[in-house]
């Protein structure tokens, strides 16, 4: 489980400055998985222990995303540099889709008002 620092950095909404918005389907450049963005943080909010425990340490000073991963039951926390738009346009299969999204249209999920508490 990812442990997060409790405060969000100043500077507005968590999505500010993010390339990808909630509902967009993304593709991980290195690990080749697909997922849908639920929320973003302006910078990495995970604890230093979690960050150092990763196989790689992308810059903390960039947007990071909470992503529901296609065909899995958990979410991942991913640096923006590792993501690109998903080239397939196919829907995502994840048991939590209905919790955070109210629909799917034009290759994008429609985010509802349920807060991400990951």
* The pLDDT of residue 5 is above 60: no
Higher pLDDT, 15 or 104: 104
In the chain, where the domains are located: 25-110
* The pLDDT of residue 10 is above 50: no
Burial track 89-112 (b if 16+ CB lie within 10 A, e otherwise): eeebebeebeebbeeeeeebbebe
* The pLDDT of residue 70 is above 80: yes
CATH classification for the domain delimited by 25-110, as one of 3.30.460, 2.60.120, 2.30.30, 3.40.50: 2.30.30
Per the CB < 8 A criterion, the answer to whether 1 and 117 are in contact is no
């Amino acid at each position: 489980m990812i442990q997060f620092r409790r405060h969000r950095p100043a500077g507005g909404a968590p999505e500010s400055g993010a390339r990808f918005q909630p509902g967009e389907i993304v593709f991980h450049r290195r690990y080749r998985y697909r997922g849908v963005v639920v929320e973003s943080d302006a910078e990495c909010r995970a604890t230093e222990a979690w960050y150092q425990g990763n196989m790689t340490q992308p810059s903390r000073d960039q947007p990071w995303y909470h992503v529901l991963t296609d065909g899995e039951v958990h979410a991942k926390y991913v640096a923006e540099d590792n993501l690109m738009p998903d080239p397939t346009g196919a829907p995502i299969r994840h048991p939590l889709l209905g919790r955070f999204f109210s629909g799917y249209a034009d290759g994008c999920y429609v985010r509802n008002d349920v807060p991400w508490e990951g």
